[in-house]
Structure 1
């Protein structure tokens, strides 16, 4: 059995005993700052090891309870698996108790243990009253039915029972995935003399090893893990669920901050626009208006943004999910499914939260159409999400798919093993549905070309791709290779198609070719033959192309051409009456033509690779007979 790693959180109202209880559980005072000691309150999240054996390792994060430090509290609970909600028996439910519950619910954290502390300070009746009040508070919430325990941190009463309850709860809870790409939201950045930059955080997913190449998002800074520590102990690796400190190489700590994310994969999105599914708290005091500025918390990041609604202008009193968008002032790293909290900056208030539908949000119009689009996004299966990307881009490399779908790499690779998925290259894939669509489109384009240009062998492949801009060239090449198409001399045509002269022009074209053959190797300009055969100017270019394409004529230059039969016979005669090398004068004598015909004829032989020009002579190449037969 593989070892599992968890981080739990201590949450609750200020001065309800979270830090003291953490110390009783772990023997570690998590208030490490001078100001925390002086004011006797937690300002930053504190961390400590709780339990470790061969099968399970548990860390504790003690989050600040004061309303002024809610943002630190939200950053502290990023990546926790279970919450110990601390309520002082002498005070009961307080404002931050409720706000912490709201935040935990919006972040999707449901595994909770409620602990009444300071029980030695009050009579049993007060303890029972506080228990009753807390149970009433949780009724109908995600935390209804959570276990309740009593503890006194100073006397130690109930502390061991709490520790056992935590271990028992986590033993029944699946651990975070240690496979796939690393994601470590950074909540602390500092520097150690002689060591350099260090970041701390809870590994959200994946794992990392000493010496591993890493990247810091959203800045895109490349770095390497020089050293890894777990609660001050040097380790060779860190795993999802663990609280780790990572010594980074080649990075100035001043360029980093809380909210950055340490990752191992380049296939993660950095975006300043996220499509979201938002739940608004029922107890908000102030209106939530269209394009209202809000503070967005996700992972350990805190970024200013604006709410953009597509089906309303106000959200106060709304129940159920609101499909909307948040436009951020600066980019963040996010994945589909990531939880977030939205708070009003002034007056300060937690107004809601939810999950990220699409970390790379688009530009949409106000209206029901956008809501339907976003609704489809929320319901899509992993396969649907891949197909949606392919519907838009037609093919995509794996890295791009990972970004667009926010799927774990292993999950995506397993999905892509089905026969309907098509490999276009080592990293680029598409789906049979897309290739079928592409094939139908190619059929339509090529068929229309045959109809419009019956004299041409087929459409130029470059022209074909230009007319199919929505499909990548590699996808078109794949479909052409698999379909009923012939590719020849840079042209594409349907199998079974052959160019045809329109019946009404057949006799005139035959007359032209006969005239050309009769004149042998002393031809006139092609325009004269077209004129003599009675072929109008608007047809001449197409017929000329057809004659060349079907090898009925061989152009010598841009004005003159030989009949293919005459051209082939001239090559044969010249070859038989010359040696391996010959002068232009010898060629003129053999063929009986003047220099104005001889020069373009010999240059044509050079161009086709039948002869090589060298020092005023020409030399026949070995494949002359083979080429001559093809001509």
Structure 2
């Protein structure tokens, strides 16, 4: 069976024994800083490995309990799979206990074990009172059924029982996706002499190997993983769920910070506008007004933002979820489903938490229509997410993964199985319905064009595409044209497109007049009049005359002798036949003039026309039949 990796968080009020309990479980002192040792409080996150059991590898993160270090606490618990809620027997439930509880629930953590510490320091009877207090506190939380264990970290009482309970409860936790795209939110950055920049964090998903090329987001800095450690041990690779330190090259220490994210692919986007679902604390000291400033804690980052409501102007004692948007002052890296905590900057307090519905938020109108749209986004299946993403424009595989926050396997499966989606020649994907709409629009526009210009062979392809490019993406239009050509619904001649059933023809209202012009030119044989004379005699407008001339030349009913003279095809063919019968392999100017009995005004253009049509080839003063 594959090894599984988990991270357990120690949470609770200051001085309730989280660090001491961590040491009792792991034999590792997680308070590293001089100030932490002097003041006997945790300031930064501490980490320690718990021994491996049946292929289960566990890291423990010890988070600060003091209210001033709540930022570090949130960064620490954001990536955990199970929490040990530490409550001292001599104090019971305290303010930070309750705030940590709220934060843990907002982050969607549902596996909890309550560790009542310092049990050797209180009377036996007091333990029952403490336990009752805890039961009442947890009664309306997701941790109502959390198992409880009494421990004393110094004497070791209950420590083994807690350890067994931890491994037993981890069986109920789904392990993280090691095959997805690698993502590590950074919570610590430091340098080591001779090694350079080192970042630490818990791998949310995927796997990293030595020498991998990675990217630091949102700065988009390319780096290389020079070395990887898991709890101070060099390893060749690290997987989702593991606490990992990575020595990265190609970046200076001051170019990376806590809150940045280390990734290995282009599947992640950088955003500053997120659509979210939020639940708020039961009792808020002050209402939260429309466009109020908020602190957003997501992953290991903390950024300032503005909250935007679409169905109200303030929040106070709201128990139902609220669909809204947060516009951030700094770019962050999030995916759909990522959890976050919301805190008020002043007065400082935790006010809620939730999850990201869409990391690609846009500006929307205030009103129920927007709320309904956000609700649809929230409830969307993976198939719905892909289809919705393709509604606006075609996207390639990487773009679909970014927009939907689905992993590559999921997206590939949907693209393969959902017949609503088609593949385009350029490697992107679009909706079949969009293709059908474009096909209908193309046919409609060509039909209208044929009716307006019946003598034209078709519509210029570039012009046709341009007419509908504001409504549809060009890639899909090109694909629709290709489809219609392959299925013989359209035909193409050069740059011109036409409906398969269309043949250029005289417009019904002017057909007789146009036919009379053609007949008159035909009857005039080789000595035609100027084109304008024929048109003016017919009462056609100049525009109609120009359309007719183009049509007759394109359909090869008439040939151009000069800029002013057009000649009918049949007299030309008869003239060629007559001359050919009277000459040998070649002829000269005089032979042609005698045969055709025309002036030089017509003779020279006629001979040049024969060259152009491929009947003859000029050789000095002679013309040779081809």
TM-score for both structures, normalised by structure 1 = 0.91
Counterparts in 2 of 1:166-177, with a 5 A limit? 166-177=166-177
> Structure 1 residue 427 and structure 2 residue 427: aligned?
yes
| Matches of 2:224 and 2:580, distance apart in 1 | 70
Cα separation, partners in 2 of 1:324 and 1:518, compared to 1, 3 Å? same
Counterparts in 2 of 1:94-173, with a 5 A limit? 94-173=94-173
Q: What is aligned with 2:503?
A: 498
Instruction: Name stretches of at least 5 consecutive residues in structure 1 with no aligned partner.
Output: 626-631
Q: What is aligned with 2:477?
A: 476
Q: What is aligned with 1:317?
A: 317
Is the 8 Å Cα contact of residues 391 and 431 (structure 2) preserved in structure 1? no
> Which deviates further from its counterpart, 539-548 or 212-221?
539-548
Cα separation, partners in 2 of 1:113 and 1:510, compared to 1, 3 Å? same
Q: What is aligned with 1:189?
A: 189
| Matches of 1:437 and 1:512, distance apart in 2 | 42
Is the 8 Å Cα contact of residues 107 and 340 (structure 1) preserved in structure 2? yes
Instruction: Tell me by how many angstroms 1:154 deviates.
Output: 0.5
Instruction: Tell me by how many angstroms 1:441 deviates.
Output: 2.0
Instruction: Tell me by how many angstroms 1:452 deviates.
Output: 2.5
Q: What is aligned with 1:408?
A: 407
| Matches of 2:341 and 2:184, distance apart in 1 | 18
Q: What is aligned with 1:341?
A: 341
Structure 2 residue matching 1:110: 3-state secondary structure:
coil
Question: How many equivalent residue pairs?
Answer: 618
Structure 1 residue matching 2:184: 3-state secondary structure:
strand
| Matches of 2:614 and 2:234, distance apart in 1 | 71
Structure 2 residue matching 1:285: 3-state secondary structure:
coil
> Which deviates further from its counterpart, 473-482 or 98-107?
473-482
Is the 8 Å Cα contact of residues 588 and 595 (structure 1) preserved in structure 2? no
> Structure 1 residue 299 and structure 2 residue 299: aligned?
yes
Instruction: Tell me by how many angstroms 1:420 deviates.
Output: 3.6
Q: What is aligned with 2:179?
A: 179
Counterparts in 2 of 1:259-278, with a 5 A limit? 259-278=259-278
Q: What is aligned with 1:211?
A: 211
Is the 8 Å Cα contact of residues 588 and 623 (structure 2) preserved in structure 1? no
Q: What is aligned with 2:88?
A: 88
| Matches of 2:614 and 2:39, distance apart in 1 | 92
| Matches of 2:618 and 2:146, distance apart in 1 | 94
| Matches of 2:578 and 2:252, distance apart in 1 | 80
Counterparts in 2 of 1:20-31, with a 5 A limit? 20-31=20-31
Q: What is aligned with 2:534?
A: 529
Q: What is aligned with 1:628?
A: none
Is the 8 Å Cα contact of residues 81 and 111 (structure 2) preserved in structure 1? yes
> Which deviates further from its counterpart, 539-548 or 165-174?
539-548
TM-score for both structures, normalised by structure 2 = 0.92
Instruction: Name stretches of at least 5 consecutive residues in structure 2 with no aligned partner.
Output: none
Q: What is aligned with 2:370?
A: 370
| Matches of 1:558 and 1:4, distance apart in 2 | 84
| Matches of 1:38 and 1:617, distance apart in 2 | 113
Q: What is aligned with 2:281?
A: 281
Instruction: Tell me by how many angstroms 1:517 deviates.
Output: 3.2
Q: CA RMSD in A?
A: 3.0
Deviations 1:522-574 (A, max 9, x none): 55543222123332224223223322333323446654444344566788899
Cα separation, partners in 2 of 1:414 and 1:568, compared to 1, 3 Å? farther
> Structure 1 residue 489 and structure 2 residue 490: aligned?
no
> Which deviates further from its counterpart, 434-443 or 99-108?
434-443
Cα separation, partners in 2 of 1:528 and 1:275, compared to 1, 3 Å? same
Cα separation, partners in 2 of 1:409 and 1:601, compared to 1, 3 Å? farther
Structure 2 residue matching 1:44: 3-state secondary structure:
coil
Structure 2 residue matching 1:417: 3-state secondary structure:
helix
Is the 8 Å Cα contact of residues 12 and 85 (structure 1) preserved in structure 2? yes
Cα separation, partners in 2 of 1:453 and 1:52, compared to 1, 3 Å? same
> Which deviates further from its counterpart, 218-227 or 482-491?
482-491
| Matches of 1:141 and 1:268, distance apart in 2 | 33
Q: What is aligned with 2:386?
A: 386
> Which deviates further from its counterpart, 325-334 or 497-506?
497-506
Is the 8 Å Cα contact of residues 270 and 334 (structure 2) preserved in structure 1? yes
Instruction: Tell me by how many angstroms 1:70 deviates.
Output: 0.4
